[in-house]
């Protein structure tokens, strides 16, 4: 069950971006690594980030999401995930707003009162977490549904 939650948060943050990452150094050998291949809409990532910084290009360990003048609270999709320290390989490297749902509300976007800013949407990962995706990165204008076909029951 815990692995499903960790993978869920990883998937949520992975979906926040839209093009392959750069030639970043490999993650440390003792970190969990999740590999992804995402095929998202043309024009993703956006040419310019929004007023909250969602969509700023970043690099693994580059600190672009924490620089002076950048809105606070951003995460780089290519840095280790908070809390679990896992890396996501093959995801677009952009700054996003995201995190776990620490409430019992099944809608993490509503529970955490998430505001992603203009041209971005809060997308839940089931009930365990959320991320802000630039609208141009949403296939068909909809958040990606990461729920496995067997709903995680293994069947």
Q: Delimit the domains of the chain by residue range.
A: 2-21+30-141
The predicted model gives 42-70 an average pLDDT of: 91
Is the model more confident about 14 or about 41?
41
Q: Among 55, 41, 39, which Cα is nearest to 120's?
A: 55
Mean pLDDT of the 103-116 span? 90
Q: With 0-12 CB in 10 A as exposed, 13-18 as middle and 19+ as buried, what is 66?
A: middle
- CA 115/CA 123 separation, integer angstroms: 11
Predicted local confidence at residue 134, as pLDDT: 92
- The better pLDDT of the pair 89, 71 is held by 71
> Residue 7: its pLDDT value, please?
39
3-class secondary structure, 137: helix
Can you tell me the distance from the alpha carbon of 141 to that of 152, in angstroms, rounded to the nearest whole number?
25
For 15-51, how does the pLDDT look when each residue is reduced to its tens digit (9 = 90+)?
444 334 444 455 444 556 555 556 778 888 888 999 9
> Could you give the CA distance from residue 1 to residue 30 in angstroms, rounded to a whole number?
22
Write b or e for each residue in 126-155: b if 16 or more Cβ atoms lie within 10 A of its Cβ, otherwise e.
bbbbbbbbbbbbbeeeebbebeeeeeeeee
């Amino acid at each position: 069950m815990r692995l499903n939650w960790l993978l869920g948060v990883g998937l949520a943050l992975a979906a926040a971006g839209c093009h392959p990452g750069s030639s970043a150094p490999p993650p440390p050998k003792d970190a969990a690594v999740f590999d992804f291949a995402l095929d998202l809409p043309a024009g993703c990532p956006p040419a310019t980030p929004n007023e909250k910084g969602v969509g700023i290009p970043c690099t693994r360990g580059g600190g672009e999401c924490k620089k002076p003048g950048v809105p606070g609270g951003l995460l780089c999709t290519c840095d280790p995930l908070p809390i679990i320290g896992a890396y996501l390989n093959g995801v677009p490297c952009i700054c996003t707003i995201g995190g776990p749902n620490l409430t019992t509300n099944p809608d993490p976007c509503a529970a955490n009162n998430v505001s992603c800013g203009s041209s971005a949407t809060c997308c839940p990962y089931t009930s365990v977490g959320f991320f802000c995706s630039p609208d141009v990165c949403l296939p068909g204008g909809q958040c990606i549904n990461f729920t496995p076909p067997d709903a995680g029951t293994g069947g």
